[in-house]
């Protein structure tokens, strides 16, 4: 999200200053002039330099995988708290747009979801609703994303496994549509509330529709779907989680992530939907452009 958001903000006329751990060298930023502050969310001096004099602060940094729940909290909750405190001290009039996750709606499912909810609470508690907007994107996909690459890899198989029941609904958004929505919201006044954003179908898609669109995008025009037993999925999640603990590595797929995948209600309710310019990417179009990018980069 960050790479695309910086490009969208620059295109919208913002003078952008970014906090990064290393000097950025990405094609999306080739024609973007932005001031770079080297540091991290636990570097209070860097955060002060980042926000000093800012009109608005877009908070996109965070962990989507971690070695344990404590690490999730350290980054997603404590990091947000440190940033909000820096804003309060050095940019008290700035509009903070805190990008959370739809997973924060169900914090009991995973350490990730719980940490994202805790980050929302920290931002609102420190700065108050008059200076904060909270946005919960659904599943984000698009060029450069390694996490949804797995869906396209699964969609090439002779038997495509469905990751949930047919009753499940999952909202999605293309990363470029999300980036433009962030730029629009940042230019407005703080909402003081928690809102969400989605593509043309905020009510969400069935797994069969998502993996079917992925199959079409990778050239599997007659996919055959199979629903694996949930006990098999849970066993795989537990094994990966155990291996991650033994090796000390952070794993994207773990019991918490599996509970998120098996949760059936990831739609975006109309009363929480952020009103912005309509999404440009439908699911088939967005998946096709994403698969094309994966192929060009040698990921597929």
Distance, CA of 43 to CA of 89 (rounded, Å):
15
- 239-268: pLDDT as tens digits: 656 555 655 666 666 788 888 988 999 999
Asked if the 139-171+203-266+281-300 domain carries CATH number 3.90.25, the reply is: yes
Q: CA torsion, points 62, 269, 225, 243, in degrees to nearest 10?
A: 30
pLDDT the model gives residue 218: 97
Cβ contacts of residue 27 below 8 Å, gap of 6+?
A: none
Which pLDDT tens digit goes with each residue over 140-174?
999 999 989 999 999 999 999 998 889 999 999 99
Cβ 75 vs Cβ 41: under 8 Å:
yes
Percentage of the chain exceeding pLDDT 70: 90
Per-residue model confidence (pLDDT) at position 229? 79
Of 29-43, 92-106, 156-170, 185-199, where does mean pLDDT reach its minimum?
A: 29-43
Distance of CA 101 to the CA centre of its chain: 6
Smallest CA-to-CA distance from 173 within 291, 97, 285, 13 is with 285
Residue ranges covered by each domain of the chain = 139-171+203-266+281-300
Whole-model pTM over 0.75 = yes
pLDDT digits (tens, 9 = 90+) for 82-100: 999 999 999 999 999 999 9
Give the CA distances from residue 166 to residues 2, 192, 227, in Å, rounded to whole numbers and listed in that order: 33, 35, 9
Q: b/e map of 88-97 (b: 16 or more CB within 10 Å)?
A: bebbeebbbb
DSSP 136-181: E--EEE-TT-SSTHHHHHHTTSSEEEPSS-TT-EE-EEEHHHHHHH
pLDDT of residue 106: 97
Mean pLDDT over 202-216 rounds to 97
């Amino acid at each position: 999200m960050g790479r695309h958001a910086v490009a969208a903000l620059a295109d919208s006329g913002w003078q952008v200053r970014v906090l990064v751990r290393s000097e950025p060298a990405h094609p999306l930023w080739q024609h973007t002039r932005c001031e770079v502050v080297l540091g991290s969310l636990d570097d209070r001096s860097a955060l002060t330099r980042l926000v000093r004099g800012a009109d608005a602060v877009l908070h996109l940094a965070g962990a989507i995988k971690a070695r344990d729940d404590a690490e999730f909290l350290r980054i997603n909750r404590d990091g947000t708290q440190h940033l909000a405190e820096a804003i309060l001290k050095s940019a008290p009039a700035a509009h903070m747009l805190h990008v959370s996750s739809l997973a924060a709606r169900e914090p009991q499912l995973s350490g990730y979801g719980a940490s994202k909810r805790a980050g929302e609470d920290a931002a609102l508690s420190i700065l108050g609703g008059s200076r904060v907007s909270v946005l919960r994107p659904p599943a984000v996909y698009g060029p450069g994303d390694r996490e949804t690459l797995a869906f396209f890899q699964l969609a090439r198989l002779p038997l495509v496994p469905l990751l949930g029941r047919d009753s499940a609904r999952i909202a999605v958004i293309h990363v470029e549509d999300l980036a433009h929505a962030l730029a629009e919201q940042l230019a407005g006044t703080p909402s003081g509330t928690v809102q969400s954003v989605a593509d043309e179908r905020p009510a969400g898609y069935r797994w069969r529709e998502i993996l079917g669109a992925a199959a079409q995008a990778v050239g599997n025009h007659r996919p055959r779907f199979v629903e694996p037993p949930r006990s098999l999925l849970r066993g795989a999640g537990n094994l990966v989680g155990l291996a991650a603990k033994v090796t000390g590595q952070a794993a994207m797929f773990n019991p918490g992530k599996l509970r998120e995948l098996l949760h059936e209600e990831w739609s975006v309710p109309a009363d929480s939907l952020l009103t912005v310019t309509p999404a440009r990417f439908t699911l088939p179009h967005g998946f096709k452009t994403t698969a094309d990018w994966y192929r060009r980069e040698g990921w597929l």
